Amino acid sequence: MSDILEVKNLSFGYEKNTLLFENFSISLKKGEVKAIVGASGAGKSTLFELILKNLKPISGTIKSSFCSEVFQDPYSSFHPSYTLINQIKDVASLNGLDNYLKSINLDYDLLLKLPHELSGGQLQRASILRAMLMKPELLLLDEPTSALDNVIQLEVMNMLIKHLKNVGMLLITHDLELAKWCADEIIMI
């Protein structure tokens, strides 16, 4: 099976003399979960920005399949004046919507609301729903369950793992226990 993400010899820093990454490499296949764990400011979110081509590396190559991302702050990932269902329809097919809603314990009626009308946990589940409905091969998860209580966190991670045959996941987390529970490999940065 070919890689859906291949980062080779990546070097990057915001300042010339201070590199966040130097000759960093990682690869990911469908069916795998790899966790990036590190302190705040270590470059975890910057790595995603590089993969998404929002930042340009100093050197190295990044190749990735079609991907979607779940951001840590769900309020910043939705436009405040459009309903969630319209924002989801803008980027994804609604095929499989009912199954996903059930598996992440989210009512359809909530999707008819504006983002500020939902709790942080509800909005984060809507963000995960949108990402999954986009049918990516690569799912970038930036602290995807940090806004959820422990029971919902477990349900959401179980739902994501059930879909591993279709997707590979790169997970940023501060939660080493979560990483140990779900990841095939943990990369400390």
Q: What pLDDT, on the 0 to 100 scale, is given for residue 147?
A: 67
Q: What is the mean pLDDT of residues 95-122?
A: 91
Residue whose token pair is 């966040």: 20
Q: pLDDT band at 1, cuts 50/70/90?
A: low
* DSSP-assigned letter for residue 108: G
Residue whose token pair is 């946990």: 121
Residues 29-43 have pLDDT tens digits of 999 999 999 888 888
For the entire predicted model, the pTM comes to: 0.89
Residues 128-152 have pLDDT tens digits of 899 999 999 999 999 887 767 777 7
Domain range spanning residue 16? 3-188
Q: How many domains in the chain?
A: 1
Residue 60, domain CATH: 3.40.50.300
Where does the chain show beta strands of DSSP type E?
Answer: 3-12, 21-29, 33-37, 59-64, 67-70, 138-142, 168-173, 185-188
Q: pLDDT band at 97, cuts 50/70/90?
A: very high
